[in-house]
Structures are given as C-alpha cells and as structure tokens.
Chain A
Amino acid sequence: MAETVVLPDLEREEQTGSKSDLEPGWLVICWNDPVNLMTYVTHVFQVVFGWNRQKAEFHMLQVHRQGKSLLARTTMEKAEHYVHQLQKYTLHATMERES
C-alpha cells in the first residue's frame, strides 16, 4: 500500500530586524548519519522547532532516506540559533546561504 505523506509547509519565518540581517536568506540543513536514532532525531526536531510529530517525522524520514533535509529558510541569526540548538543535541546540522 502506498504511504500517504502530507508535505509540511516550509514557511518563511516572520522577518524582523534590519534589512542587512535579512538578506540574503539562510538555509538550515540536517545531514544523515547512521548513528542517531530515528526516534531521537524526531524528538529533537520537535523540541528545537516546536513542530508537531507529523512534521518532525517527515523531516526525519527525509534525512534518513535522502541524506539531508532542509529544515528552515530564515535569517542568518535565526539560522545560527537553530544550528547551535541542533548541535547541542549532536545532530549534524549546518547553515548555508540561499542561492
């Protein structure tokens, strides 16, 4: 039976602050590794981003099956904050400039 997957919105976060902080956009990416438990990754996404279980599972499975998942498109400061939080939980997360 085909799996029904509801794609979550990767919404742009509300932008505040000076223009220089907002441009260009930054992407927060989580990379796959074979050591972190799938349940652990799901839980961390829920805690760090405040997502519901369904959305956290969607991104966890994207990391697991596709090698990475784009978790947020946001300002530089917020991207740094998210990467820091994810790395506190020892997930392999990075940020990169949106092209």
Chain B
Amino acid sequence: MKLLRSDQRGFVFHLGKREKHLLLETLQLYPLIPASRHRITRNGDSPADDERPRLLEEALAEHRRENRRQLQAMLNEKHRFQETEAGFQLNLSAPQMEWLLQVLNDIRVGSWLALGEPEQGDEPEPSKTNAQCLLALEVCGLFESALLAALGVHESPRWR
C-alpha cells in the first residue's frame, strides 16, 4: 500500500490485487474487542455512580455499530477501489483515514487479546487455532503504518 498523492480532498493509495484482498478480508473481522474491555476507571472508582460506565459502554457500542455500517457501505461501494493496470487505487478523505485507523486498530488489539495479550516478541508460535489472529495482528499493523506515514507520522530512532 503506497501513497500516490494527497491534497485537500484526501488521500489516494495504490494497492496490489492481493493487498486489496487481504485488506477487505481483514476488515470483515471488525469488531473484535469485547465491550467489557472498556472501563472508564481503573479501580472501579466510579466518577459519580454506576451510570457513567454504562453510558460510556453504550456510547462506544453505538460508535462501533456506526463503524460497522460505514464498513459495510465501503465494502459494497463499487467505486471505492478503482482498478488500474497495476492493481487498485483507494481514495480516502481525512475523516475516512481516522475511521479506518480506528477499525484496523480494533482488529489489531482484539487479535492481541485473543492471543492472550503477549508481550512484544513473545507471540505464540503459529498454529491452526491462532493463525488468523497472528495474521490480523501483523496485517493491521502494516496497513496502519501506511496510513500513519501518509499522515506524516513516522517512527523516530530516538524512540528506541
């Protein structure tokens, strides 16, 4: 996935045929994070009463339903991916970039949770039961990195 150009209207990416297939298959996994994962406080010290965590959970659930609706619309939209000689062009507006980052990261974090929350570099060996999660973890990371690079966010050597 490569950025071809960006302007005020948005971003245009090139994807190979297999990349497009991999992206669409991975997006079908959304959502993966269980609702119970989201907690507003760490120690159960509710800000006011028991109502607030429930309201947050409901708001996030609605947000995920809306993401799912947008995802289905995108997958069904014939002109979202324009076929070229070398593959496909994907057009995304700035809000769609943010939305796609959220969806990809939900799948990435959800896969990590399903793998037992391993530390970096301590992921389990691939097997028939965890192959999909391991693949989704890596694929989402790659697509996220491509989107973030297009937004100008690059990893710095100073971070390590």
Q: Chain A residues in contact with chain B, CB under 8 A?
A: 3, 26, 29, 31, 33-40, 42-43, 47, 53, 57, 61, 64, 76, 79-80, 83-84, 87-90, 94-97
Q: How far is the CB of B68 from chain A (nearest CB, A)?
A: 14
Interface size class of B (residues with CB under 8 A): 35 or more
Interface residues of B in 114-160 (CB under 8 A from A): 117-120, 137, 141, 144-145, 148-149, 151, 153-156, 158-159
> Which residue of chain A has the shortest Cβ distance to B67 in the bound complex?
A88
Q: How far is the CB of A2 from chain B (nearest CB, A)?
A: 11
> Which residue of chain B has the shortest Cβ distance to A87 in the bound complex?
B38
From the candidates A35, A37, A95, name the one contacting B41 in the complex (CB within 8 A): A95
Interface residues of B in 28-82 (CB under 8 A from A): 33, 38-43, 45, 47-48, 52, 56, 59-60, 63
Number of A-B residue pairs with CB-CB distance less than 8 Å in the complex they form: 87
Q: Is the CB of B108 within 8 A of A35?
A: yes
Q: Is the CB of B102 within 8 A of A37?
A: no
Q: Does any Cβ of A come within 8 Å of B89's Cβ? A: no
Q: Is the CB of B52 within 8 A of A89?
A: no
Q: Is the CB of A90 within 8 A of B109?
A: yes
Q: Is the CB of B109 within 8 A of A42?
A: no
- Which residues of A sit under 8 angstroms from B153, Cβ to Cβ? 39-40, 42-43, 53
The 5 closest A-B pairs by CB, nearest first: A35-B112, A34-B120, A94-B42, A39-B148, A39-B153
Q: How far is the CB of B2 from chain A (nearest CB, A)?
A: 17
- Which residues of B sit under 8 angstroms from A26, Cβ to Cβ? 47
- Which residues of A sit under 8 angstroms from B98, Cβ to Cβ? 47
Q: Which of A47, A61, A83, A97 has the most CB of B within 10 A?
A: A83
